[in-house]
Amino acid sequence: MTLSFDKPVRAVVTGAGGGLGRALCLELARRGARIVAADIDLAGAEETAAMVEKLGCKAFARACDVAQRPAVAELAEAATSLLGGVDLLINNAGVATSGPVDAIPQQDWEWIMGVNLWGVIYGCELFVPQMRAQGRGHVINVASAAGLLCTPTMAPYNVTKAGVIALSETMAAELATAGIGVTVLCPTFFRTRIIDAGRHHGSDSRASAVGKLMDRATLQAPEVARFALDAAAAGTLYALPHADGAWLWRLKRLAPERFYQQLLPRWLGKFTRR
Ligand SMILES: NC(=O)c1ccc[n+]([C@@H]2O[C@H](COP(=O)([O-])OP(=O)(O)OC[C@H]3O[C@@H](n4cnc5c(N)ncnc54)[C@H](O)[C@@H]3O)[C@@H](O)[C@H]2O)c1
């Protein structure tokens, strides 16, 4: 069963205190949803909830650190009682680290794995039973084109996002007969606070190249949010909003070795030189 906005959708969005999470909440509100906006930053989530209410929809703000399983379990329980059930879970909360693989300290690997991978695993594990029981639901896991393209100096981020893609693919096959749809969102770059809030190691030329790519993006957070919800409503598994991500992924599948040894370094070089 695909997600439909004909009736008010009961949605939970993690990382809803800013960036894409906030844009997703606002787009959901435009489509008449009732929302639980969760974030480790409660003030940010409250601000988002107030913006949603200005658009005429009901929203509840909750504090939740997705890296902590008990906190996600509490969120699932609270959302079910506040909304009377959950039709749509968006596992959006995420953080970034960058640097050469041999320069990233273990605690930063653990930090990003906790938020980007375990956070999504907990969300799926703890919200899906309720969707199974009601015989319908949809999960949007926010990954990244980085999980498909594995760009240099982003190893921990790439590993977590590749894990989210693998989890989503597995769930799509596993849950198809349970009436639960799965979409994995894989944008390239768009401007948010993710780089400023991240942990970076080594030269900062890569972070500044990412900054340039973010500013030049053809689609920013509001358009990415719209694309993600349209993709979920269409029952799409792989949602790649940006054209550059879509063609780079196609190129990688056609010639994977040439992609990593020649094409990707050449393409990225263009941005670090400019
Ligand atoms: N901005 C991009 O270029 C880009 C590209 C591809 C994918 N993404 C993904 O989009 C998602 C949203 O990121 P964004 O770009 O909006 O970044 P952002 O930093 O603007 O927003 C991330 C939000 O997640 C929250 N958060 C961080 N740790 C958390 C935790 N432990 N528990 C709950 N909330 C937590 C932050 O407080 C923040 O509100 C992430 O999964 C990110 O990897 C972003």
Asked if residue 15 has its Cβ within 6 Å of ligand 1, the reply is yes
Of the CA atoms within 13 Å of residue 181, those in its CB half-sphere come to 20
Ligand 1 centre and the CA of 80: distance in Å?
A: 24
Ligand 1 centre distance from Cα of residue 91 (Å): 10
Residue 1 pLDDT greater than 70, yes or no: no
Q: Binning pLDDT at 50, 70 and 90, where does residue 269 land?
A: confident
In a domain, 221, yes or no: yes
Domain that holds residue 217: 10-244
Residue 267 lies in a domain: no
What distance in Å separates the CA atoms of residue 151 and residue 76, rounded to the nearest whole number? 34
* CA-to-CA dists, residue 174 to 11, 142, 162, 179, 247, angstroms: 22, 19, 18, 10, 28
Q: How many domains does the chain have?
A: 1
Mean pLDDT of 150-163: 96
The reply to whether 107 falls in a domain is yes
Rg (CA), the chain: 18
Question: Which atom number of ligand 1 is nearest to the Cα of residue 96?
Answer: 43
Residue 272 lies in a domain: no
Evaluate: CB of 123 within 6 angstroms of ligand 1. Answer: no
- What tokens appear for 167 in the block? 């989890």
Residues marked as catalytic:
157, 161
Q: Considering the domain boundaries, does residue 154 fall inside one?
A: yes
Is the confidence at residue 89, as pLDDT, over 60?
A: yes
Ligand 1 centroid–CA 262 distance in Å is 30
If 0-12 CB within 10 Å is exposed, 13-18 middle and 19+ buried, where does residue 273 land? exposed
- Quote the percentage of the chain above a pLDDT of 90: 89
- Is 101 among the domain residues? yes
- What CATH number does residue 114 fall under? 3.40.50.720
Condensed to tens digits (0 to 9), the pLDDT of residues 200-221 reads 998 766 667 788 888 888 899 9
